[in-house]
Chains A and B, each alone.
Chain A
Amino acid sequence: MSANQFKSPVVRWIDHRLPVFSMLHHTAHDYPTPKNLNYMWNFGSLAGLSLAIMIVTGIVLAMSYTAHVDYAFSSVERIMRDVNHGWMIRYIHMNTASFFFIVVYLHMFRGLYYGSYKAPRELLWILGVVIFLLMMATAFMGYVLPWGQMSFWGATVITNLFSAIPYVGESIVTLLWGGFSVDNATLNRFFSLHYLMPFIIAGVVVLHIVALHRFGSNNPIGIDTRGPQDTISFHPYYTIKDVFGIAVFLLLLAVVVFFFPNAMGHPDNYIPANAMQTPAHIVPEWYFLPFYAILRAVPDKLGGVLLMFGAIAVLFILPWLDKSPVRSARFRPLFRIFFWIFFVNAIALGYLGGKPAEGIYVILSRVATAWYFIHFLIILPILSTFETTKPLPKSIAEPVLGGFSSTPKQAYAAPRRS
């Protein structure tokens, strides 16, 4: 739209010279969005909100935090006890991290279920996986900062993963530590990087959105939009829907922050770091547990590390593993079954990652790990060749097939002005 269509002369004057209003209008207002998106499409905006909350509370926390092994723990406790509203800001930061992962996992499962990674959205998906990787690195380094027992031993264990690399592993670990163990130098660089990485994430999010707007959102029936009868403008329809999603998200977040603030943490992290004593059961934060289970399922050090990183690497090539032209699981009966098996398997991996590595848990971890890779590397390629899919509807607006029939005929039958 051109600048002179804005009502306010001030907006018009600015927009003529700096077209920010046109850009905003284009991305949020005009942007045609499939009219049939369900609530699973709410998690993108929630992830964006989570990132914003994390950055704002994080900047505030950094004003009172001291990145030094002698003061880190007590500076966090000073935030909890003496800084005005410090307890609230820290609990929000702590728990929003968990909520961020919940939201992103749901966002990813939605993508898996509805085939959002398929052409032409491969790069959109890959950028999402990049964001996920950056989030994991950021969360890991953030968890080190309070310098409790779990911080210290988590940092030790995770950095030691790199020692599995042949020949150069030990040198890389020394490089990461800046010393011969996790110590002050490590804490300082982790703080620096933990502060930096959210802004890199924000940058990749911008690319993610640019890629999204190239072809628009996928939708529950997974077919391309065929014209204006299939779409509605993003604003006000999806803005208000996102507001409702945000309201529910914030309500759940508030319940956890104010009434169960430590439920997703570990009690050992309220014990100051002690390099001479490892806690009995060390476990990472819950959102790492599936990958931790994969790591421990392999009896070989290098093998475990490779498989763990492989579990994420396989997501990068997913668009080329699943070649079925049908996107949505609604029209792929077999894929749908395997999706839910995969989902349960992923939850099982998370559960097993939190259990001690002994007895039956080891065997189950191996089975679940094997299934994780079988799903991506064997089942998806085979399914895309042999599966008989259900017939696809002609268009989103056409109420012929599937559980989608609520659009009255007049809504799309009339010719569109544009």
Chain B
Amino acid sequence: MLSRIGAVLLFGVLSSPAWGASSDVALKTRDWSFSGPFGTFDKAAMQRGFQVYNEVCAGCHSMKLIAFRNFADLGYSAAEIKALAAQYEVQDGPNDDGEMFMRPAIPADRMPSPYANDNAARAGNNGALPPDLSLIAKARPNGPNYLYSLLSSYGDAPNGKEVPDGMYYNTAYPGHLIAMPQPLYGDDVEFSDGAPTSIEALSADLTQFLMWAAEPKMEVRKRIGVAAVFFLSIFVIFSYLAKRRIWADVH
């Protein structure tokens, strides 16, 4: 009885309809370094992905939850992070005269946004709000594959499909009409490590970076998880044997 109910319920829960994935899109999948119980982030790919974000996405999309100090996770040294932060200006103040002022960012600062507020962002983008990307990889069903597919699935609409002004055709987007113009065409950036720059390669690197941004504690989570599951598995066995031992005289 227990196993029957347990199996049915657990299956019901884990295949929960709460995920409610959109049905009209077939996503491209990829063998991500971060998937699986031992998955880790690919630091080189994340650095390249950050470069893509910086040179292509950052003009419209903010990453408000990420501080420069967080880039230590990407493998940058303290000095590199300091130099990187210093390239950005952030608002501070008020000073003794009551004025707000701009100063170079320090590692403790969060990344400044391209627009002062959401309304400014809408005004600059035909009324569409470019979402903040800090959590985007967790804020979409099947996040990494969705982002990877979205970035590399722009194309011409099939005959008969009307594409209104200011909209673009993308087979990975639910409804296929997206307000974001195609961001990557291949060779958009040049990597110092000579990595490939096809649309797929750039999309994959960017996805690595965005996945890290959404779940920066994933590596330590899985590390602790492996230890916890190992410990608890032994605990299950021990407690079962102890139970058998104590119950031996009842049965």
Contacts and interface: CB of A to CB of B under 8 A. Distances in A.
A and B touch in the complex (CB under 8 A): yes
Interface of A: 35, 38-40, 74, 77, 80-81, 87-88, 91, 98, 102, 105-106, 109, 113, 232, 236-237, 240-241, 243-244, 246-248, 250-252, 254-255, 257-268, 270-271, 280-281, 283, 285-286, 289, 343, 347, 350-351, 353-355, 406-407, 411
Given A243-B242, A248-B236, A35 B221 contact: no
B14 A260 contact: yes
Interface in B57-89: 65, 70
Contacts of A259: 37, 222, 225
Interface string B160-198: 000000000000001000000000000000000000000
A378 B238 CA distance: 47
B2 to A, nearest CB: 5
B224 A237 contact: no
Tell me what chain B mostly uses at the interface: helix, strand, loop, or mixed. helix
A286 B221 contact: no
Contact of B12 (A236, A252, A265, A350): A350
Contacts of A281: 20
B13 A354 contact: no
Contacts of B135: 77, 270-271
A237 B247 contact: yes
A102 B6 CA distance: 9
A283 B19 CA distance: 9
A220 B155 CA distance: 63
Identify which of B16, B37, B250 gathers the most chain A CB atoms within 10 Å of its CB: B16
A283 B236 CA distance: 35
Nearest to B141: A267
Contacts of B139: 267-268, 270-271
B65 A81 contact: yes
A407 to B, nearest CB: 8
Contacts of B226: 258
A106 B5 contact: yes
B19 A77 contact: no
B8 A347 contact: yes
Contacts of B112: none
Interface stretch (B46-54, B99-107, B202-210, B227-235): B227-235
B216 interface: yes
A283 B2 contact: no
A267 B19 contact: yes
Interface of B: 1-2, 5-6, 8-10, 12-14, 16-20, 22, 37, 65, 70, 131, 134-135, 138-141, 143, 174, 214, 216-217, 221-222, 224-226, 228-229, 232-233, 235-236, 238-240, 242-243, 246-247, 250-251
A248 to B, nearest CB: 6
Identify which of B13, B140, B143 gathers the most chain A CB atoms within 10 Å of its CB: B13
Nearest to A78: B65
Contacts of A355: 17
B60 to A, nearest CB: 17
A314 B135 CA distance: 42
A237 B143 contact: no
A87 B6 CA distance: 28
Given A250-B232, A351-B17, A267 B138 contact: yes
Contact of A267 (B70, B143, B242, B243): B143
A283 B20 contact: yes
18 contacts: A88-B221, A98-B13, A109-B5, A237-B247, A243-B243, A247-B239, A251-B229, A254-B228, A258-B229, A264-B14, A266-B20, A270-B135, A271-B135, A286-B17, A286-B18, A289-B17, A289-B18, A407-B250
Contact of B246 (A40, A236, A255, A354): A236
B5 A247 contact: no
Contacts of A39: 2
A407 B10 CA distance: 33
B18 A285 contact: yes
A40 B1 contact: yes
Given A80-B217, A257-B225, A106 B9 contact: yes
A258 B243 contact: no
B229 A244 contact: no
Contacts of B9: 102, 105-106, 347
Nearest to B216: A81
Nearest to A271: B139
Nearest to B214: A270
B2 A244 contact: no
A411 B249 CA distance: 9
Contact of A264 (B2, B18, B229, B247): B18
A87 B217 contact: yes
Nearest to B249: A411
B240 A244 contact: yes
Q: Closest 7 A-B residue pairs measured CB to CB?
A: A258-B225, A354-B17, A270-B139, A251-B232, A244-B239, A87-B217, A270-B135
Contacts of A265: 18
B147 to A, nearest CB: 12
A286 B8 CA distance: 14
A128 to B, nearest CB: 17
B16 A264 contact: yes
A413 to B, nearest CB: 15
B1 A258 contact: no
B229 A102 contact: no
Contacts of B174: 280
Nearest to B110: A74
Given A244-B236, A254-B228, A38 B246 contact: no
A246 B243 CA distance: 12
Contacts of A80: 217
A263 B243 contact: no
A38 B1 contact: yes
Contacts of B251: 406-407
A38 B13 contact: no
A236 B228 CA distance: 26
